[in-house]
Structures are given as structure tokens and as C-alpha cells.
Structure 1
Amino acid sequence: MNAAGAQHDVDGDVYVSPRHLASTTGTGGPALAPLLGLGWGSRHDDLGNMYVDAPDQRVRVGYLPEGDDDGLWRINAYKDPFGPPAWGVCFNDRVPTEFVHAFTAALATAYEQGPDAYLAAPVPRSEDREPFLAVVPLLKHGWTLDRRPLDGVFEVAPPDGQAGLEFTTGTLDAEAELTTRDARWQLWAGTSVDRPVWYATASTHTPVVLLRAVTECVADPAPLARWRKDALSYIDGMATLTPILPPSPPAPTPLDVQRISARRPTALPPASVPRWSSASRPALPGPRR
């Protein structure tokens, strides 16, 4: 959402910048809309958690406000509907909703293209599936790359140092990638990666096009609209909050002018000149000749 754009659709009273210091909007509908719009099935459990399934059962999404941990969003894809996940992504309960929507929108597009798109694992030195392509949007917007050779981790961080994207090299435990934060990719914001305010993880075989959709959204310099009174809507003390000015009244259209004119009172007729009658005062006699 651009601060300079149309403000009639803005849901909030402040803009939060940089946007990685915003937090969740507290609603799951916008992020589920791209998938439900394709006709994916949905159901709820007794606790209010929502589960969305692709028609071929190869992609499953869990929106889990009453889950066992802070993993609010869990998204898995399968080569075999009855086998283990080919890849998995998790967004915790404070990730900005816009970032989740960026992922689900890209997933919806990939799903329409078929399994070769939504199951396309990253391949080093591939023209369009190189893992590093997911990092490029951040680098183009001022994030810097750092490598920690001892633990084989590449990290990119924004100028304020209040966020980061980590890519871990080497062999990882496939099950741990799906159930813990020990995944190939981890995106976070807060004071440190050990105690982030929000985080997102993605396993080794998550398609680059889906990862890049998220990093492009994170790198976007436009602020995000939030409500100042909502303490979870931004990272207090670090984010810059700019009041959203009320929209300017629109210029009247010709139809508006016509309606206003029609409501005005009709002008009074000009005063009439009285006619002579028998009740009129007789005229004075003129001078004699």
C-alpha cells in the first residue's frame, strides 16, 4: 500500500515505516482470499482454526489462531498427497499480513500453472530457480549481505539492523525444517534472531518464486497502514509512525452542481406597479388656463 495512493481504502490511522517493523493486522481473510478465490476447499475445527486444501490435495494451508504454538500460518506442499511434505512454510502470529498475502498470491498463481511451478525446488546456478534470486529484492533496497563462515549462514540485514534474512547452507534435518525454526530460510524482525518479534521460515525445497514474492513485499519502501491504538500493529519504539491525513473532499461534479442548484429557493418576482382603481386617490387638478 502506497502512502501516496488512494487513501479511501486505508485501514488505519498511522503509516508504519519501515514496513518490516509493522506487525499483523489480526485478520486472516486477506491472505486466504487468493486461494479461496480459486475454489479451494475450507473447513473449521471446534477451536476456530481454519484449514484450506487445494482441489488435488497437494497443497494445504492451516490458519491456526488456536494452534499449539505461535505458528499462525502453516503451508505445506506434497508430491504425493499421502506422503511427507515436499516443502513447508511457517509464518508466526505477528508477521505483517501483507507478507503472508504476497506468498499466498504467488502460490495461487503457481498452482494454476501446475505442479512444475508450485513444486519447483531451488537449483543452484539455475537461470530462474537459483536460491540467491530470493535475496536480490532486499539487496536492491539497501539491505547488506554478510556471511558467517563458521556456521555456514548467509544473512542480509536492513540499514536499521532490526530485521534479517538468513540462509543456512549444508545438510539440514528435513523433519526439523517443518516443525522448528531450524529451516533453510528464516526471515525475522526485532532486536535479534534469537528473540524476534515476528519470523517466517521456509524449508529447503520451497520454490524461489514464492520466496521472492515475500522478499519483494518486505523490500517495498512504501509504509503500511496500522491503528496507533493497537499495540501489536507495529514494533513499538523502533518504527516510525506518520499520521494518515483524512482524505481531501472530492471536487464537485457537474451533476453535484446541478443538484445543489435545484435545492436553492426560487428567487422572488420583481415588485409589480399598482394599477389605478376607484379606491385610488384622485389626481390633483391641474392649473387653469
Structure 2
Amino acid sequence: MTDTSDIDGDVWVTPRYLAGSAANVDPALKPLFDLGFDRHNDEYGNLYLASPDRKIRLGFLPEGEDDGIWRITAYQDPFAAPAWGVCFNDTAPTELVTAFTTALAAAYTAGPDAYLHNGAHQNRFTAVAPLLNQGWKLPYTGSGSALALRSPDGMAGLEYATGRLDPAQEITTLQARWYMEGGPKGPRWYATASTGTPVPLVAAVTTALADPAPVARWDSFLSSLLRTHVQLTPVVPPPPPAPTPLDVHRRSGTRPRPALTTTSVPRWSTSTRPGAVRR
């Protein structure tokens, strides 16, 4: 039976790309906390992390200027322009962010060649393959000059821009090399990654996006718009352990009698003789 003691939610949501963000963002921050990233909050409650060498920075910006609540950038030099940037908005499934920060922590541990390798020179198919393996459709004509995929239900998608892009706009706008989104009509979640983002980091996100496993959410937090498009299954807590005899006696207010041991009562066997009776 699955242990649900540490699950943050009371319902399982399928598909995960329609689950919205989770109430608890700690799992997305923990991989970088574990590496000793410096952290501080501003007066508005936004959180900023920086690697010890200042070459990776993360902003968790619930009070930011727009809905780009997660912004992660990497630098060849701490004082240079970003080598790459990734953004998740405020309704993106938190599992996607966690997948990215987990992969980023592993890449940072491996060294600069892993987290600063220019994604433009890597095989982009490795980031698309997880979606194709789950039945996402290719080709699909997206907006502008882009190659795009759609989920089987049409509720989520990925676009890979094939034309030339402005490096600065890739970091600050939705005009990025990689664009993922999901949800019914109306406000949708999105995630972006610029051209230089190492493909293995993008692949970590698409792998999480394609994962058919449900994710846990609090039922009361799910929007009515999403409810009509998802499957909800209660998170069933494990049964309590069976009471021990001591528990039973404690509840009844009595004290348990000591158990008899094999030496408590004399026992005879056919191989021994009783001792002589003293007079």
C-alpha cells in the first residue's frame, strides 16, 4: 500500500498538466537549498537564491511585476548577461519546476560543462521524445515559425521556435526557444526556456510533463474551470496500525498480566528424571 503520510493533498489529479500549481513549493526549492545556495527575501516576500559562485540564480516572485513567478538564470560570468533563462508562471504544475531544479542541482554538482553547455548545440530531440512516447502529436502548426506538439486531449502543448530570436527578449518575454503551456481556454499555465538552456534540463521538464502518474492537490484549491477536464481520485490514507495488547490494556485502564515463560512452570520430559525428594 502507498504511504500517503507525506502527500500534500487530498485528491489525485489526472492528467497532471491540468492540475495547476501545488500549495507547497518547498520540494521545488529543496534541491538548491541542499547545495547551500544563498537565500534572502525582499520586503515584499519574494525569495532569491544564488549559487556559491553566483553563476545560477533563482527568483521565486509571488509579488513580482507579472505572473512569471519562477525565474531561473545562469551566467558564464556573474556580471555578464544571462547565458540562458527559464520561467514558469504562477499556475504551472509545481512538479515541472521541481523536475527542473532537481536536474539543475545535479548539473551544478557535475560542473560548468553540464549547466552552462549551450543547448543550441545539443540534440533537441531528447527533450521532445518523452512527449512523443506518450502519444503527443507531431507535426502540428503552431503560432508563427515553430514546430509544435499537442497532448492527445489537446489540453497541453509544446512549441519549439525554429527562427532567429532576440536573446534579451527570450529572457524577459514569452518569445523564447521553448514554450510549454496547458489548460482549457482562458488563462493557461506556461513555461519558457531560452535557446542556450541545456537540453537535458529542458528534457527534465518534458519528462515530468509527459508523466502519466497523477499528482496530489487539495480539492478545495482546484478551480471550477479545471474540474470539468480532470479525473479526481481521493487520496486514501493508510489504515492505522493494529493495537498491541499493551494498547488495549491502557485503554481499558487495566495492567497486563506478565506472560508466562518456559521456566515459570516445572515441566517433565521423558529424557529427565525428577530430582530426589529430600527428607
Q: TM-score, with normalisation over the residues of structure 1? A: 0.82
Matching of residue 214 in structure 1 with residue 211 in structure 2 = no
Q: Which residue of 1 aligns with 2:102?
A: 105
Note closer, same or farther for the CA distance 1:104–1:243 as it changes in structure 2 (3 Å cut): same
Q: Which residue of 1 aligns with 2:269?
A: none
SS at match of 1:143: coil
Note closer, same or farther for the CA distance 1:259–1:151 as it changes in structure 2 (3 Å cut): closer
Q: Which residue of 2 aligns with 1:162?
A: 155
Matching of residue 228 in structure 1 with residue 219 in structure 2 = yes
Matching of residue 145 in structure 1 with residue 138 in structure 2 = yes
SS at match of 1:199: strand
Note closer, same or farther for the CA distance 1:258–1:149 as it changes in structure 2 (3 Å cut): closer
Q: Is the 8 A contact 1:186 1:200 kept in 2?
A: yes
SS at match of 2:152: coil
Instruction: Report how far residue 250 of structure 1 moved.
Output: 3.2
Q: Which residue of 2 aligns with 1:87?
A: 84
SS at match of 1:76: strand
Q: Which residue of 1 aligns with 2:3?
A: 6
Note closer, same or farther for the CA distance 1:6–1:152 as it changes in structure 2 (3 Å cut): same
| Distance (whole Å) between structure 2 residues aligned to residue 65 and residue 72 of structure 1 | 6
Q: Which residue of 1 aligns with 2:114?
A: 117
Greater C-alpha radius of gyration: 1
Matching of residue 40 in structure 1 with residue 37 in structure 2 = yes
Q: Is the 8 A contact 1:58 1:77 kept in 2?
A: yes
Letter in 1 for 2:152: P
- Segments of 4+ moved more than 4 angstroms: 261-267
Q: Is the 8 A contact 1:14 1:242 kept in 2?
A: yes
SS at match of 2:226: coil
Q: RMSD of the alignment, in Å?
A: 2.2
SS at match of 2:220: coil
| Distance (whole Å) between structure 2 residues aligned to residue 44 and residue 117 of structure 1 | 28
Instruction: Report how far residue 162 of structure 1 moved.
Output: 0.3
Describe the superposition over 1:135-188 as per-residue Cα deviations: whole angstroms up to 9, x where unpaired: 111111121112439933111111110000110102101111111111000110
Letter in 1 for 2:240: P
Q: TM-score, with normalisation over the residues of structure 2? A: 0.84
Letter in 2 for 1:247: P
Aligned-pair identity in percent equals 50
SS at match of 1:27: coil
Q: Which residue of 1 aligns with 2:67?
A: 70
Letter in 2 for 1:144: K
Matching of residue 177 in structure 1 with residue 177 in structure 2 = no
Q: Is the 8 A contact 1:94 1:232 kept in 2?
A: no
Matching of residue 18 in structure 1 with residue 23 in structure 2 = no
Q: Is the 8 A contact 1:189 1:196 kept in 2?
A: no
The count of corresponding residues between Structure 1 and Structure 2 is: 255
Which stretch has the larger CA shift, 77-86 or 232-241? 232-241
Q: Is the 8 A contact 2:58 2:72 kept in 1?
A: yes
Matching of residue 131 in structure 1 with residue 127 in structure 2 = no
| Distance (whole Å) between structure 2 residues aligned to residue 80 and residue 231 of structure 1 | 42
Instruction: Report how far residue 266 of structure 1 moved.
Output: 6.8
Describe the superposition over 1:99-128 as per-residue Cα deviations: whole angstroms up to 9, x where unpaired: 10110011000001111000112255xxxx
Note closer, same or farther for the CA distance 1:99–1:232 as it changes in structure 2 (3 Å cut): farther
Q: Which residue of 1 aligns with 2:26?
A: 29
| Distance (whole Å) between structure 2 residues aligned to residue 136 and residue 95 of structure 1 | 21
Question: Structure 2 unaligned runs (5+)?
Answer: 258-279
| Distance (whole Å) between structure 1 residues aligned to residue 147 and residue 227 of structure 2 | 28
Q: Is the 8 A contact 1:25 1:233 kept in 2?
A: no
Instruction: Report how far residue 257 of structure 1 moved.
Output: 3.9
1:241 to 232, 256, 260: 232
Instruction: Report how far residue 244 of structure 1 moved.
Output: 2.1
